[in-house]
Amino acid sequence: MNKVFAFILFFFLATNIFAQQIPLYSQYFENNYILNPGVAGTEKMYSPLRLSVHKQWIGIQESPSTQYVSLHHRLANDIMGIGGLIFHDSFGPIRMIGVQSTYAYHLKVNNKLRVSLGMNAIFMQYIMRISQDDFYGYEPVLTRERTSVTVPDASFGAYAYSKNYWGGISVAHVLQSKMKITGTWMDDSNKMVRHYFIMGGYRFSFPGQYQLEIEPSALMKFTETTPLQTDVNLKMYINKRFYAGLSVRGGDSFVAMFGFTFEDYYFGMSHDFTFSDLSMHTIGSQELIFGWNLGIKTREGTAFY
């Protein structure tokens, strides 16, 4: 796919109010914090540091690519969590760079269940890079080679969790910031759209030699301008060290994944097999996630979750 086609593809998405305003993740349930700020501080025994690299639509030039690093931590008072995330997302001539900070408050419902309320404060910079070389033989659409805009944003989330189950609801792009870069492309009528996420899962344990655990989960997501999409996931854990999983993203792809932990470290890998019309142009998408559970050897007590 040449640059002109990639640019036209982006224009189509942009005129539909940025169909992919939020980066796509395949292993979000390995780090629910990226979708729900209420997750900050839910791990009592350690602070999860995560680094992820996602490449979408392999084989298509300048297809979406996303990277992030995140960390969240429960404070010593045991009722508050904090977190932070740095992310980078690119698609053709468009790049998005952002940082977020998180505060969450945890309420103890009973000895088994807690509910947390979280909020993200976010700053994002959108950069559009266009050069005449991208449009050889065509009239230039923009007069500047680089335009950018920096906007604030926020997200809110509620999250309930215990040893065996979890669930939550969150809202992203709460401020619906306007995305005016040039009068031609992104005028005042174009703005970020609120995204809604509803998630939940349950872990079944089967005592035995291999300490088998099975965790079905689901994620429902929609915006104020697009219909509901549902992901259905199934993961299997062995000895709390190895896992394999399958996921179906409605109308889009089938995901296979595996991962393992070694002492304080974590590694996961997934591959999306696309079954939409894009399957004629791509072999799918891939994602790698690396983790380091900080402080797991130094804290005492029993993990709550």
**Are the beta carbons of 268 and 288 closer than 8 angstroms?**
yes
Q: Domains of the chain (ranges plus CATH)?
A: 3-294 (2.40.160.40)
**Are the beta carbons of 255 and 246 closer than 8 angstroms?**
yes
pLDDT of residue 1: 42
Q: Place 134 in a pLDDT band, splitting at 50, 70 and 90.
A: low
pLDDT digits (tens, 9 = 90+) for 63-98: 889 999 999 999 988 899 999 999 999 988 888 999
Distance linking the first and last C-alpha atoms of the chain: 46
74 SS3 class? strand
Cα–Cα distance for residue pair 273/252, rounded to 1 Å = 9
CA 33 vs. chain centroid, Å, equals 8
Q: Which of 83, 54, 95, 87 is nearest to 68 (CA)?
A: 87
CA 51 vs. chain centroid, Å, equals 11
- pTM for the whole structure: 0.83
* Whole-number average pLDDT of the chain: 83
